[in-house]
Structure 1
Amino acid sequence: MRHKDENKNEAIFQATIELLNEIGFSDISMSKIAKRANVSSATIYVYFENKEDMLGKLYVKVKEKMSRQLIHDIDDSMPTRQICEQFMRNSMRFILENRDYFFFLEQFSTSPLVDKLYLDDTASMFTAIHEFVEKGKRNGELKPLPTLFLLSYCYFPVTQLAKAHFKGEFEADEENLQQIVRMSWDAIKA
């Protein structure tokens, strides 16, 4: 059995993300990934059973990184409004600092592959933010709607601003982010 090199594993992941963002899921192959990562095709199979295994592990890795970033500097003692704002700021920071990861997640979430692979355990990565929202609902600070709805009003406006920023349509600056934060809070507050 060959020894696994963490640098090669990371090179394979990075090559996969780059290629997916360039050519999409339908055109990606293990040989293209190997070529981009400067490893042999056989080397990839030392690390992963097949393409689906690799993509699933990559998805989980990116989601873990994202989940840690989204709750950064948030704690239970903060008012719900401040938690929502920090969540939105953290989301924007993650997206802007990890553009390739963001676009990978966007593609993956709309791919039939996400349903094919068993990836339900990634929901547990976001337990903390769900608990903050639940607490806000119990305290009467947030509308008594499903948590997913409330979080959607905090996350998706940020993603739309980031996409517009990447296209050069809007600047993801403090002023625009603050407007989105205010609008989102107005939409979810009780």
Structure 2
Amino acid sequence: MRHKDDSKNEAIFQATMELINEVGLSDISMSKIAKRANLSSATIYVYFANKEDMLVKLYINVKEKMSRQMIHELDDSLSTQELCERFMRNSMKFILDNKDYFMFLEQFSTSPLMDKLCLEDTATMFIPLHEFIEKGKQKGDLKPLDTVFLLTYCYFPVTQLAKAHFKGRFEANEDRLQQIIRMSWDAIRL
């Protein structure tokens, strides 16, 4: 059995993400990924059983990185409003610092492949975030709505600002971020 090298694994992930962001999920192949990663196709199969296995592992890898950033420095000492703001700021930081990851997640999450691969299990990575929102509802700070619904009002405005930034429509600066933080808070607070 061949020894697995973490740098090769990362090169495969990076090549896959780049290709998906350039040409889309439907136009990638293991041979294209291998060529982009400067590896042989056979080497990829040392790390992954097939393309679906590789995509699942890449998706989970990126979601784990994203979840760690989103919950960074969230703790019970913060008010519900401060928690929501920190979550939104953390989300924006992750997206702006990791454009390739974000674009990959955007494309992958809207793909029919997502349902086929049953990737909803990644929700457990965000349990701490859900718990903070639940506590905010219990304290009477937030509207008594589904937690996912409340989080959506915090996360999607950030993604829309980031997308506009990436497309050159306008800069995702502090003023704009502060505006969407205020609007999101106004939408979810009780």
| Structure 1 residue 134 corresponds to structure 2 residue 134 | yes
Provide the rounded CA distance (Å) in 2 between the counterparts of 1:6 and 1:168.
35
Provide the rounded CA distance (Å) in 1 between the counterparts of 2:189 and 2:37.
47
Q: Superposed, which structure 2 residues align to 1:1-190 within 5 Å? A: 1-190=1-190
**1:112, distance to aligned residue in structure 2 (A):** 0.8
Counterpart amino acid of 1:61? N
Provide the rounded CA distance (Å) in 1 between the counterparts of 2:163 and 2:24.
17
Provide the rounded CA distance (Å) in 2 between the counterparts of 1:177 and 1:25.
31
Task: Summarize deviations over 1:40-89 as a string: whole Å, max 9, x none.
Answer: 00000000000000000000000000000001111012100000000000
- Length-normalised TM-score, structure 2: 0.99
Q: How many residues align?
A: 190
Task: Summarize deviations over 1:152-178 as a string: whole Å, max 9, x none.
Answer: 000000000000001111111000000
**1:120, distance to aligned residue in structure 2 (A):** 2.6
Greater CA drift, 174-183 or 72-81: 72-81
Secondary structure of the corresponding residue to residue 78 of structure 1: coil
Counterpart amino acid of 2:44? I
Provide the rounded CA distance (Å) in 2 between the counterparts of 1:74 and 1:58.
26
**1:119, distance to aligned residue in structure 2 (A):** 1.9
Counterpart amino acid of 1:119? L
Q: CA RMSD in A?
A: 0.6
**1:118, distance to aligned residue in structure 2 (A):** 2.7
Please list every run of 5 or more consecutive structure 2 residues that lacks an aligned counterpart in the other structure: none
Provide the rounded CA distance (Å) in 1 between the counterparts of 2:176 and 2:98.
20
Provide the rounded CA distance (Å) in 2 between the counterparts of 1:89 and 1:123.
20
Provide the rounded CA distance (Å) in 2 between the counterparts of 1:50 and 1:2.
17
Identity of aligned residues (%): 76
**1:121, distance to aligned residue in structure 2 (A):** 2.2
- Length-normalised TM-score, structure 1: 0.99
**1:144, distance to aligned residue in structure 2 (A):** 0.3
Greater CA drift, 51-60 or 115-124: 115-124
Counterpart amino acid of 2:70? L
Provide the rounded CA distance (Å) in 2 between the counterparts of 1:163 and 1:103.
9
Provide the rounded CA distance (Å) in 1 between the counterparts of 2:139 and 2:156.
24
Please list every run of 5 or more consecutive structure 1 residues that lacks an aligned counterpart in the other structure: none
**1:147, distance to aligned residue in structure 2 (A):** 0.5
Secondary structure of the corresponding residue to residue 179 of structure 1: helix
Provide the rounded CA distance (Å) in 2 between the counterparts of 1:160 and 1:92.
10
